Structure 1
Amino acid sequence: MAVIVTGAAGFVGMHLSERLLARGERVVGVDSFTDYYDPRLKAARAARLETREGFDMVRMDIAEAAAFGDLVKAHAPRAIVHLAAQAGVRYSIENPFAYERSNLAGHLSVLEACRRCPDLEHLVYASSSSVYGDRPGAGEGFREDDAAAEPVSLYAATKRAGELMSFAYAKLYGFPQTGLRFFTVYGPWGRPDMAYFSFTRKILAGEPIEVFGQGEMARDFTYIDDIVDGVVGVLDRPPERGANRILNIGGGRPEGLMTMIATLEAALGREARKVFRPMQPGDVTATCADVSRLVEVTGYAPRVPIAQGLPAFVNWYRTFYGAS
């Protein structure tokens, strides 16, 4: 039986698919290859996966419910990892209807397909730390039972809505689900819209970088290998039938934006030209994951600090883009 991974040409999706293939799983990847960021990067990720035995890539918009339902019925997967989504807090302010289709209709399409798949062991889906909103105490760690009722971006609102839809479907139809609230994921093959990625490009090009929040923001940066460890651990340990379990997945420690920039500067051997800006709409001041529940379920133990992870990203970036 296969594992279906939606968003398989995405950052987390590619790395997760590789890990599943390495342990002998058959993986069916689904991706629509949108042009939210450079499609060539997604194509390169897909090409990397397509060299692997046991992997099949299907180009499909998961919001096309009938087509996705047919795909799930044809493969009768043992599990689905649903990572496909329209990402980006700031982009959601400019292009709100992209989030309606990908994050609401797309999530509902996955749920409908799952309820018609009687042998499905587990649906694992991506939520986001953005659901917690912007509030004091982030440095102490967001907990899963903290309030998540005041999102500050449409992106966050759609991810919270996905969680609520999953609660309803778990109760109605019984199939086990786990929603993972991802904190800031980074590393090789990452997303170009993320700050560390765009900063790297601009520093190498000699362009100034915009430092929002006057440099006072902090994020729970989590290296991709640690994220994949957590996702696989969760996938292998479904909750009881009728449950929609929510878990944080992050590094458990906030790093200041200026610390991240200084680490990049050291890895690149260049100093950034910084232009300080106020907070942008939809941004939050700080994020930090309390991962105690994930540790309890899986034994999760993030290992890679940014002092190690960001240089690994820089090495990949120089190789992939031929940058000096």
Structure 2
Amino acid sequence: MKILLTGAAGFIGSHVARILLDRGDQVVGLDNLNAYYDPQLKHDRLARLTGDTGFSFVKMDVADRDGMPALFQRERFDRVIHLAAQAGVRHSLVDPHAYIDSNVVGFTNILEGCRHTGVQHLVYASSSSVYGGNTQMPFSEHHGVDHPVSLYAATKKANELMAHTYSHLFALPTTGLRFFTVYGPWGRPDMALFLFTKAILAGEPIQVFNHGKMVRDFTFVDDIAKGVVHTLDRPPEADAAFDKAHADTASSWAPYRVFNIGNHDPVQLLDFIAAIERHTGKKAIKELRDIQPGDVPATFADVSELERWTGFYPGTSIDEGVGRFVAWYRDYFKV
């Protein structure tokens, strides 16, 4: 297949691209290579892909109102994986316009491109953050997601609503994936594992928010990438039994689905830090802090719907995943 992969230079996108290329798909990778974090890491991720004859790269912002339609018309993609977004919960408190431009305007351009060129299936990144103030665990796609606690989360819920509209109006098959705390090699420098490993190896203190009373469904990036590809291969269909009088948020009368994709094994933050200590061979200097605005104290994914739909179930343990990250970090930064 010929696949558009947005966010191809990103953490998850570069891993997804590798799987697609290895199985023989033609991948057009798109990224704007912005400076939200060090662009060199993005260039280095791309360098692992550009030697493959099945890969071509386009530097473009998904919010480009002229460039995106032209790209869709020129390339005529079979399917689209949309992972490009302005990421980060806390940064949305500082620069909200970046989230509207990328996550809302950009997503509109993706939907329009798919609509007008007959794309067979759009898979896009949502987020566990859409669960917001919900405290019912584990988080299920059947739960309401009407109380986001960050603008980032609100834009991701908006994506799900926008996708449903296009599935309904234009019969465009769309699948949203709610990612749960992704970690692993080539990860983002603003995420906890990267920050903690860097500080611990340097003998510097780490900031531990909510006094360590955080629980996360940490999910290894290889599991996420495999789940994305499994989902791409199974376009949603209209649910003929859908009852509009008792609407279920997990499905629709339109060809639309949303799925959690997490490890289904939540871990205490302090246990996560202990795994980093084991693999670095150094003790962390912990500075305990209050919870930050926009954060939620716990996440826990019910992934039974994803397993039923695709047959895929994430399964990398924290100890294995953290060990692989620390090994990559030491090699990449020569420390």
Aligned residue among 131, 139, 153 for 1:142? 139
Amino acid of the structure 1 residue aligned with 2:311: G
Show the counterpart of 1:268: 280
Deviation at 1:47, TM superposition (A): 1.3
Deviation at 1:57, TM superposition (A): 0.7
Q: CA RMSD in A?
A: 0.9
Amino acid of the structure 2 residue aligned with 1:80: V
Q: TM-score, normalised by structure 1?
A: 0.97
| CA shift digits 1:194-253 (9 cap, x unpaired) | 101110011111110000011000100011111112111110000126422111111011
Show the counterpart of 1:98: 98
Q: Secondary structure at 1:209's aligned position in 2?
A: strand
Aligned residue among 231, 254, 258 for 1:246? 258
Deviation at 1:23, TM superposition (A): 0.2
Contact 2:303-2:313 at 8 Å conserved across structures:
no
Counting only pairs closer than 5 Å after superposition, residues 102-121 of structure 1 correspond to structure 2 as: 102-118=102-118, 120-121=119-120
Deviation at 1:13, TM superposition (A): 0.3
Show the counterpart of 1:290: 302
| CA shift digits 1:103-154 (9 cap, x unpaired) | 0101111001111012x2100000000000133233xx10001110000000
Amino acid of the structure 2 residue aligned with 1:206: G
CA distance in 2, matches of 1:304, 1:19: 17
Show the counterpart of 1:124: 123
CA distance in 2, matches of 1:302, 1:171: 30
Runs (5+) with no aligned partner, structure 2: 239-253
Q: Secondary structure at 1:116's aligned position in 2?
A: helix
Contact 1:134-1:286 at 8 Å conserved across structures:
no
Q: TM-score, normalised by structure 2?
A: 0.94
CA distance in 1, matches of 2:78, 2:134: 39
Q: Secondary structure at 2:207's aligned position in 1?
A: strand
CA distance in 1, matches of 2:96, 2:318: 32
Amino acid of the structure 1 residue aligned with 2:90: R
Deviation at 1:51, TM superposition (A): 1.3
Show the counterpart of 2:204: 207
Amino acid of the structure 2 residue aligned with 1:112: E
Q: Secondary structure at 2:275's aligned position in 1?
A: helix
Aligned residue among 155, 158, 182 for 1:158? 155
CA distance in 1, matches of 2:158, 2:70: 25
Show the counterpart of 2:30: 30
Q: Secondary structure at 2:48's aligned position in 1?
A: helix
Counting only pairs closer than 5 Å after superposition, residues 208-223 of structure 1 correspond to structure 2 as: 208-223=205-220
CA distance in 2, matches of 1:39, 1:84: 15
CA distance in 1, matches of 2:320, 2:332: 19
Amino acid of the structure 2 residue aligned with 1:121: Q
Identity value in percent: 52
TM superposition outliers: structure 1 runs of 4+ over 3 Å = none
CA distance in 2, matches of 1:308, 1:175: 39
Contact 1:134-1:285 at 8 Å conserved across structures:
no
Q: Secondary structure at 1:226's aligned position in 2?
A: helix
Is residue 196 of structure 1 aligned with residue 208 of structure 2?
no
Aligned residue among 177, 180, 187 for 2:177? 180
Contact 2:134-2:145 at 8 Å conserved across structures:
no
Contact 1:220-1:252 at 8 Å conserved across structures:
yes
Q: Secondary structure at 2:178's aligned position in 1?
A: strand
